[in-house]
Structure 1
Amino acid sequence: MNETNLSLSTSYRLQPFLLLSKSVKGIANTKLIMDALNAPGVYVFTELYESPNVVQASTLPEVAPYYSLLEIFLYGTFKDYQDNVSQLPSLTENQVKKLKHLSIATLSETSQTLSYDLLQNYLNIPTVRELEDLIIDAFYQGIFTGKLDQRQGQLQVMRSMGRDLRPQQLDETMKALAAWSVSTSRLLGNMDAKIASLQDTIQANDQIHDEYDAKIEQLRRDIRANTNLKKMDISLDDSKKKGYNGEYASLDYNNERVKKR
C-alpha cells in the first residue's frame, strides 16, 4: 500500500469518529479519542485533533491527558510516551503496536538504515523476533516499505508514510523551503545566463560560418575567372603559332601572289 492509498484508507476509517466528534461533548471525548487510537488501520489523526468539540474539551483536566496522548500519536514517538507515561493514559496492546509503527516511520525520516539495536532500545523491545514481527506487521499495514537484513541486523526503509509536523518543525521546514527557493532561483539565474551565453556563441559561430562560406564561394569564383582567362591566353598563342594573325595573314597571302606573276 503506497502513501496515498494509506492516507485515503485511514481517512475513510477515521470518518465514523469524526462524525461522533460533532455530537460528543465534554468528558465523553476521552472515550472517543481512545477508540480512535485503538481502531485498526487508523494512523492519521489530524482531523480528529482539530475537531472543534475535541479542542474545546481538551481544556478540561479530565480530557487534557487524552488530548496530549492524541498529540503524541499525531507526530510523537513511543519514546515521547515513555518519557511522560506518568501523566498519560495507559495504552492497549494494539495502541502500543500502532505507536511503535509510527515511531519507526519517524526514525526513517533521518536515516533509511535502522539497526536492530537502535530499534530495540528505542521501542523497548526485548527480542529480535518480536522486533521483526512488529516490522513485518508495519509492512502489511503500509506504514513503510523496505527489507529486513538479518545478517547485518538492520532494517532498510525504502519509503515511509509522512507524519504531521510539530509546531517547531513547521517553522524549520518553512525556513528550509525558503532557503531552497532562494538557492533554486539562483541556480535558475545561472542556468539562464549560461543558456544566453551559449546562444550568443552559437549565433557568433553561425556568422563566422556564413562569412567562411562566402569567402569560399568568392574564392571559387576567382578561380573560375582565372581559369577562363588562362584558356583564352592559350587559345591566342595557338593561333599565332599557326600563322593566323588576322589582317597581317591576309597581306602575306597577297604578296605571294604578286611574286608568282
Structure 2
Amino acid sequence: MEQTKALNALEPFLALTKSATSPRAAADLVTRATSHPNTFLFTELLYTPQIQSLAQSPEFAPHLALLQLFSYGTYADYHQPSQQQQQQQQQPPLPPLNDAQTQKLRQLTLLTLARDRANLTYPRLQSALGLPDSRALESLVTSAIYAGLLTATLDPARQCVQVNALAPLRDLRPGAVPDLVAPLRTWSDRCTTTLGDIEAQAADIRANAARRHRESAARDAKLAQLVNEVKGLPSAQDGASAGERSRRAGPRTTLYSLRGGRGRTLNKRASNLMEGPDAPDEEAMDVDQEEEEQKRASRRKL
C-alpha cells in the first residue's frame, strides 16, 4: 500500500517532465520531487530523458547526482562522496538541501540501514544520520514510522531500535540485481530441500498409520473370534447336560407315578409305549392289591 502511495505521489512530477525542456526547469523539478513528503521512489523520474539530459549541463549536473542519492544513496554519501565521484571530472558540489530534503534523505537512509540489525544502535544511527543526540534520533524514527517506511519500537533503555518490518520503498542501485540473485537462489534451494524432507516424513507417517490400522483391525478380529468361541462353548455343554439329565430322570419319574396310582388314567397302549414292553400291566397290579386286602381281612376275623 505504501508503495502504491509513493508511486501515485510521483505521477504529477512525471507529467511535468514533458514541459521541463530546459536544464533549469528539470533541476527545479528534481528539487520539488525530492521535497515532497510522500515521494520515496524516484527511478521512473530519474530515467526520463529530460532528467538524464542534466548530465550534459555542467551547472545542473549535481541535481542529477542528488536525485540518484535520493533514489538509492544515503545521507553519508551526500557528505562523503565516493572515490569514484571524486576521480571524475571536476564538478560543482551537490546542491544544498532544504529541511524537507534533509528529513527525506535521513528517512531513506534509515530504511537502508535497518536491513542490518547491527546498524540499529543509537550511537551508530546518530553517526550515520548526522543527528546530534538521541532525542533527535527518536524523532526521526517516529516520523519514519508515521510515513509508513517501517514498523519499529524505540528502546531507550538498551539504546537501540527494534525493527519489525520494512516497506519496499527504496530503488535498487545499478548492478545490485546479481547480488540479490545469489541469496535468492540459495533460499530457493533450501526451500526445495525442506519440502522434499517434509514430503518424505509425510509418506512415512501415512505408511505407519496404515500399518497400525491393519494391526488394530487384526487384533479386533482375533478378539471377536475368541469372544464368540467362549460364548458358544458353555451353551453347548449346558444343552448336552440338560438332555442327559432328562433322559436319565424320565423313566424313574414315570415308574414312580405308576406306583403311586397317579398314572392310571393313562391309556394302556400309551403307557406301554412310554415304559417299554417289560412294564407291568395296570389290571394285574389292581388284582394283586385286592387279593392282598382280602387276605388281611380274613386274618383279622380269625
**1:32 & 1:145 partners in 2: Cα distance?**
31
Letter in 2 for 1:66: H
| Greater radius of gyration (CA) | 2
Report the secondary structure of 1:257's partner residue: coil
> Residue 251 of structure 2 contacts residue 275 of structure 2 at CA under 8 Å; is this kept in 1?
no
**2:9 & 2:210 partners in 1: Cα distance?**
62
What are the superposed Cα offsets for residues 175-226 of structure 1, whole Å, 9 maximum, x if unpaired?
Answer: 2222222211221122112212222222222222222222222223322332
The residue number in structure 2 matching 1:97 is: 103
The residue number in structure 1 matching 2:214 is: 207
The residue number in structure 2 matching 1:126 is: 132
Write out aligned runs for 1:60-79 (5 A).
60-62=56-58, 63-79=60-76
Question: 172, 187, 191: which one pairs with 2:194?
Answer: 187
Q: Do residues 81 (structure 1) and 78 (structure 2) align?
A: yes
* Alpha carbons of structure 1 residues 130 and 217: separation in structure 2 relative to 1, 3 Å: closer
The residue number in structure 1 matching 2:85 is: none
The residue number in structure 2 matching 1:216 is: 223
Report the secondary structure of 1:96's partner residue: helix
**2:209 & 2:177 partners in 1: Cα distance?**
47
**1:144 & 1:34 partners in 2: Cα distance?**
25
Q: Do residues 41 (structure 1) and 48 (structure 2) align?
A: no
What are the superposed Cα offsets for residues 218-250 of structure 1, whole Å, 9 maximum, x if unpaired?
Answer: 2233223323321222123312441559xxx96
Range with bigger deviation, 178-187 or 231-240: 231-240
Report the secondary structure of 1:167's partner residue: coil
**2:120 & 2:249 partners in 1: Cα distance?**
107
What are the superposed Cα offsets for residues 59-98 of structure 1, whole Å, 9 maximum, x if unpaired?
Answer: 4253543222212111221012121197533222221111
Letter in 1 for 2:202: I
The residue number in structure 2 matching 1:148 is: 154
Residue 174 of structure 1 deviates from its aligned partner by 1.9
> Residue 75 of structure 1 contacts residue 164 of structure 1 at CA under 8 Å; is this kept in 2?
yes
* Alpha carbons of structure 1 residues 173 and 244: separation in structure 2 relative to 1, 3 Å: farther
TM-score (norm 1): 0.82
> Residue 37 of structure 1 contacts residue 95 of structure 1 at CA under 8 Å; is this kept in 2?
yes
Residue 17 of structure 1 deviates from its aligned partner by 1.0
RMSD of the alignment, in Å? 2.9
Residue 167 of structure 1 deviates from its aligned partner by 3.4
Letter in 2 for 1:211: A
**1:112 & 1:142 partners in 2: Cα distance?**
22
Letter in 1 for 2:155: D
Residue 160 of structure 1 deviates from its aligned partner by 3.2
- Structure 1 unmatched ranges of 5 or more: none
The residue number in structure 2 matching 1:169 is: 176
Q: Do residues 18 (structure 1) and 18 (structure 2) align?
A: no
Question: 28, 31, 38: which one pairs with 2:28?
Answer: 31
Residue 48 of structure 1 deviates from its aligned partner by 0.9
**1:254 & 1:152 partners in 2: Cα distance?**
120
The residue number in structure 1 matching 2:280 is: 257
**1:43 & 1:9 partners in 2: Cα distance?**
9
TM-score (norm 2): 0.72
Report the secondary structure of 2:218's partner residue: helix
Report the secondary structure of 2:56's partner residue: coil
Q: How many correspondences in the alignment?
A: 253
